[in-house]
A and B are shown apart, each in its own frame.
Chain A
C-alpha cells in the first residue's frame, strides 16, 4: 500500500522568501508519479507539479520546484519568491502507474504568506 506523509500541518513564510514543504512517501512499486496540488480557501484542487519515479532531474514549473530524493523517498516542494496568493493548503500525492491509478494524498500543509 502507498502512503504519503506530510509532517508540517502549518507553515509561515514572509512574502518574497522561499519555502520548502516536506513530503515523504512509501511504496513498493517501481513506477509511480508524485504530484503536488494546491487547494485555496475556495476549495478547488489545482495541479502544481509532477515528478516521475524514473525522472533523473528534479521537476520545475515556474516558481515551483520539486526536490526529489528517491533513495530517501522524499519529494519536497520548493516555492520561490512567495506571494500572498500562495496562501493555501498544499497536498503531496502519489499515483500508481498501473492498476486503478488512484491518487494517494498526504494530510496537507497549510501555508500562510505574510506581508
Chain B
C-alpha cells in the first residue's frame, strides 16, 4: 500500500530534550516536506527536500533540522524543543516530474507536546 508513515503519532517531551520524528514514504517520491498545523495559523511549511541531499527552508524553519540521506526518509529533528513547538506535524511527499498534478500525500500526523 502506497503511504507516508510518520512515527511516533503522539509524543510528550520536556523542554531541551532532543527528539526526532521519522517520516518514510514508499512511493519513490522525489519531493518531501514537513508542515506544522496550529490553531488560527493553519498549516505552514517547515522544511522541504527536492531530492537526496537537497533540503531547504520553508516558512518556519527556526528550531528545526532535517536530513535527506535516502530518498524514502526525511526525519525532522528538534535539537532543543521549546513549548512553542507544541503542534501537530505532518510529513508529505510527491513526485516532482511529469507536470502539475503532483499530489502531496500526507502522513497521519504527529501530535507533539513540549512541557
Residue among A32, A35, A97 making CB contact with B103, cutoff 8 Å: A35
In the complex the two chains form, what is the Cα distance from A108 to B56 in whole Å?
27
Measured between beta carbons, the chain B residues less than 8 angstroms from A115 are: none
With A101-B94, A103-B43: A44-B101 Cβ-Cβ less than 8 Å: no
User: Is the interface on chain B under 10, 10 to 19, 20 to 34, or 35 or more residues?
Assistant: 20 to 34
Count contacts on A: residues with CB < 8 A to the other chain.
26
With A52-B100, A101-B94: A107-B42 Cβ-Cβ less than 8 Å: yes
| Contact of B104 with A95 in the complex, beta carbons under 8 Å | yes
Interface flag for B85 (CB, 8 Å): no
| Contact of B45 with A102 in the complex, beta carbons under 8 Å | yes
Q: Mark A44-57, 1 if CB is under 8 A from B, else 0.
A: 11110010111000
Residue among B92, B100, B104, B108 making CB contact with A97, cutoff 8 Å: B100
| Contact of A102 with B100 in the complex, beta carbons under 8 Å | no
Measured between beta carbons, the chain A residues less than 8 angstroms from B101 are: 33, 50, 52
| Contact of A101 with B43 in the complex, beta carbons under 8 Å | no
| Contact of B105 with A44 in the complex, beta carbons under 8 Å | no
Q: A101-B102, A105-B43 are in contact. List 9 more A-B contacts (CB 8 A).
A: A46-B106, A97-B100, A101-B94, A102-B45, A102-B58, A102-B59, A103-B43, A105-B42, A106-B42
Instruction: Name B residues whose Cβ lies closer than 8 Å to a Cβ of A.
Output: 31, 33, 35, 42-43, 45, 48, 56, 58-59, 88, 90, 92, 94, 96, 100-109, 111
Closest 7 CB pairs of A and B: A45-B106, A102-B45, A105-B43, A44-B108, A52-B100, A43-B109, A105-B42
